[in-house]
Every structure is written in structure tokens, then in C-alpha cells.
Chains A and B, each alone.
Chain A
């Protein structure tokens, strides 16, 4: 693979935009996102230009089906003025340039697009099955037209020479965890390869969002990844708002931000509990779960839902938090968590299992386009909250917590840092005042991109609306959909099977978010 390496000298965002515009034409420019139309011929060149600029990451890639399939690449720009650049190109025929050769992060999306739209990267590299199970009884509907021929069996780890075998695990795994199939390819000792089937949970959310109004759609959107309901909801709402050209009231945005940070808090607490479970530290798990439960009760007390469902709505929020309850309850719950984590950091049997376990290098994270704590633990300061041109995170800049090492312990430390940061932010947002205003949504035909930083990393949403305000294409990309692709590399850095649960806990992803 000859992936393009970024040049040392970072061009400014405007330079890149100009470079891309030179190849095509500027479509739209709102808040954080710039849309450039690139002719299919120049797509490869454009991808080179973007991937070659340091601080630019391929954040997402998806297609939409009209009379002709349109391929959109979302580039996250992370240095001087963070934001997003969307390139859209109309693809005639079955093939488009092999983008994953330029930006490896595109591979999973290439597979997904092939499944859904039947267009594939030129060069005929084998693509994996992602969402559509091979054993599906009925023919599953796709967003676009069918692929000419179905993708090859996922990773088919037919171990030629038979010097390794596949250790099957799942889809029904331990109690109280999501369905997921691990194919653990091992030579008896080391982890040769690890691959995942997530289609046991593929619910076709993007498919069923079509034809709904954004207000109806957000109900399903936030259930795409329930543990990041606020983040996904916000990203989706923001996309809708961008499309409809409305800006929610600052108070409403602060409400969202409070909810978002609460969500981050309880997720990190849950991850801590999972880490304890994976390392066999039951007492720590119990302590962390006490903190988790208290945080969830804070959520319930302040927003009326333990998992903050239904808080975010297009145009604003459905309800404001009970600020007094929050001020009253949160510090206690947070101290509970903090005491537990402090004790954990003092427990060698715990820390030793975390250190040098499931290592990912910054290089890997960058190439794979990883986001969230996983990426930040490798030293990449990537955070979608920085990309806010306005709103609470612009007024109260978040200081991004990073760590070096990229191992489980680094991820744990990032989580700890972020919990403290979240509490600080919540306090500031509350002090500035939160509200439940909701601007109503006049329908109009347009498209928009939205984003939010969930506890698992950047969530992206993109919607295209028709004149009736109904969705023609909605793209949801929760953090999980990104970070699972780093999981097998992290596991392969390890030779011990028993570390895999620890690594999984430290990623703290959901299958739901991946399978949607």
C-alpha cells in the first residue's frame, strides 16, 4: 500500500479549499463545513491534495443515489481553523478511483458503498461484506442499486497451509454484551488476525430514515447508538439545521452540551467498570458501577431519562435540565467516580494489565482515521468539539486531553482527564444558563453536515432533504463505525488472548453504532 504521507508543511485550510476549488467548483460554505464539487476525473488528484495536507483526516465517505450516484468524501481539517471539507463527485459507471490506496481510512467505507450502491474502487481489490449477512433469508434492500456481484466472504480466513485456525467466538458472547462475532485467527499461540462480523445487528437505520421528516427521524437516529444518543442526535439535528439553514438558540445548544458531557461522563464510568471486569477486579467493578449508577440517576434527575433519550431535537432541545438537581447531584456522583479511579490507579494488579496492552501507534491511528479517546491516547489531538464555529464549545473552549503510548492505560488516562473536563464544562454551561427553546423547522430542499464529539469520538451526520422536508438520504457515522477498524490492529499487537477483553473495554465501542 502506498498511502499518501502528509507533507511536513501544513497548508492552511483556505489553501486546501482553494486547491480543491481549482479542481472543481465551490458548492456551499456554512459554519464549519465547505462543500466542493469535484469531477470524477479529478477525484484522485483531489484526494491526493487533501490527504497530502498534514492535519487533514478522511473523516467519512459515503454515496447517495440520485439519477447518478454521488460520492462524498468528508475531510476533517484539524489545525488552524478546524472544520470539515466535503468533496462531492458524480460517479458514472461502476468504478471510482481506489481511494483507500491514497487514504487507507477509506477501506471500510469502500466496502459499505459497494454493498449499498454497487460501485467499487478501480483495481478490483477484494472488498469485505460489512452489513449484509451472507445467510440473510430475504434479499435485503440497499440504499442504491445492487452490486453487480456480491462482495467476497469477509476476510475469509481460509488459512492456506492450515498453520493457523479460526477460533470462533460469538455472536452470542458473555452475558449483557452486544452480539458480535469474533473470528480469532491464531496459530495456537499468537493472534495472527482478528476480524468481526457485526451484521447480526444491522438494522438498516440509514435505509429506514428515508422519507421521514427530521423530527420523526431523530427518534431512530439516536437509537442508532443508544449509548451516544445525545451525540448522534446532536450531529443529526445539526445536519438537519445546516440543511434548513437555522441556528438553535444558544441556551438550547448549551442544554445539548450539558447532556453531551453527562453522556461522556457515564460512558467513561461504564468503560472503567468494564475495564475492571476485564481485568478480573470485581471490587473495582462494583465501585465503578456504583459511580455509574449514580451518574445515570443524575441524568434521570436532570433530564428525566437515564440515557438522555429525546433531549436533542432538530432546531433545539425538548427539555432543559433541572439545573439545581444537577448542581446538587453531580459533584457527589463525580467524586464517587474519582475516588474509584484514584483507587484503581493505586492498584498494581489493575494498572499492570493495562500498560503496554493493545498498543496503537499515532501512525496507525492517523492512517485508519481513528477518533475519540482511542486516537487521543496515541497523541493525536482530534476532537470534533473544536470544530464549532459558534456555540457553547466556541465560548468555552475544551482543552483536549491527549496521552502518549497508545496503550490501554493511555486510553484510560484520557478518559479520566475527560471526565474532569466534562464536569468543568457542565458547570460553566449551567452558569451561563440552559434553556429548552426550539425553533420550528421550515421545510426546504438542501443538504447539510453535522457533527458532535461522543465519548467514543467524532460523530458525523449528513442529510439531504427534499422540498417537503423529508429525508432523501441520511448518513450517520457514529464513533464506533470508525474505531472498530483499529481494534484488530490493537489486538494483533498482543499475543495474549486474555488481553482482548481488556482492549475491547478500553475502546468501549458499541456494535450497534457499527452495524446501525
Chain B
């Protein structure tokens, strides 16, 4: 046991300060995508939806309905359109209503 005590002291503190301070390790975490409405077209969106293994993406007319709750951050949509989709880097997603996790992204790419 003394050995463990010594090791513990030598090891020092590794505990994160989160939530008081942001935690550095968060940057490496996979995070749900953020969409650039201006670069989205129906065609791109439909391909992304086809690629999405879960139920996170769907399209209602000219809006991309993105359910962050269902998203597994697998990154397949990003591979369809790397320019239009980037990791959001947002991991503090917990919500008190399910609907708060569903984001409406207007598809503005058609306009141009």
C-alpha cells in the first residue's frame, strides 16, 4: 500500500476542471456536423441522407431536418460534401426537451 500511496503522490492530479473550466481533451471528440446552408443543395442533402446510417437526417422541402440526438457523429455526411459539412465541435448537447435537439437547416444552395 505505501507503494501505491507514493505512486499516487508522484502521479499528481489528472482530474479535469470541467465544468468549471473547459477541458482540453474535448477537441478530439467526434461531434455532430454543422451545415453551411449556403452550400447545401437538395441533391447534396439527399445524398447525405442516403449515406446517413441512422435516422439523423431528413428533408422537408427546402429544409434539412437534422436530429442531433440521433446523430452518431460518424462523419459520413461530411464525406459526401466536405465543404458543406464540418464538425460542429459542440459536445455540450444535452437537452431537456427532445425537440431542442432537432435543428432546421434551410437549404440555400439552390438560390445561386
Contact = CB atoms under 8 A, between A and B. Distances in A.
Interface of A: 216, 219-220, 283-284, 286-287, 290, 293, 297, 300-301, 304-306, 309-310, 318, 339, 343, 346-347
Nearest to B24: A297
Contact of B3 (A293, A297, A347): A347
A347 B5 CA distance: 12
B25 A346 contact: no
Contact of A290 (B11, B29, B74): B11
A220 B72 CA distance: 12
Given A300-B29, A306-B29, A283 B11 contact: no
10 contacts: A220-B53, A283-B4, A283-B5, A300-B30, A304-B30, A306-B29, A339-B7, A343-B3, A343-B7, A346-B3
Contacts of A287: 4, 7-8, 11
A287 B9 CA distance: 12
B102 to A, nearest CB: 21
Nearest to B28: A300
B18 to A, nearest CB: 13
A144 B109 CA distance: 48
A283 B8 contact: yes
Contacts of A216: 53
Contacts of A305: 30
B37 interface: no
A297 B28 CA distance: 8
Interface in B66-105: 72, 74-76, 79
Contacts of B30: 300, 304-305
Contacts of A309: 72, 74
Give the 10 A-B CB pairs with smallest separation, nearest first. A219-B53, A300-B28, A283-B4, A310-B74, A301-B28, A305-B30, A297-B25, A304-B30, A290-B14, A343-B7
Give chain A's interface secondary structure class. helix
Contact of B4 (A293, A306, A343): A343
A99 to B, nearest CB: 37
Contacts of A297: 25, 28
A304 B76 CA distance: 13
Contacts of A310: 74-76
B40 to A, nearest CB: 22
A216 B4 CA distance: 48
Nearest to B79: A318
A219 B75 CA distance: 12
Given A304-B30, A306-B29, A318 B4 contact: no
Contacts of A306: 29
A75 to B, nearest CB: 34
Interface string B3-27: 1110110010010000000000100
Contacts of B7: 283, 287, 339, 343
Given A287-B4, A347-B3, 15 more contacts: A216-B53, A219-B53, A220-B53, A283-B1, A283-B5, A287-B11, A290-B14, A300-B25, A301-B28, A305-B30, A306-B29, A309-B74, A310-B74, A310-B75, A347-B4
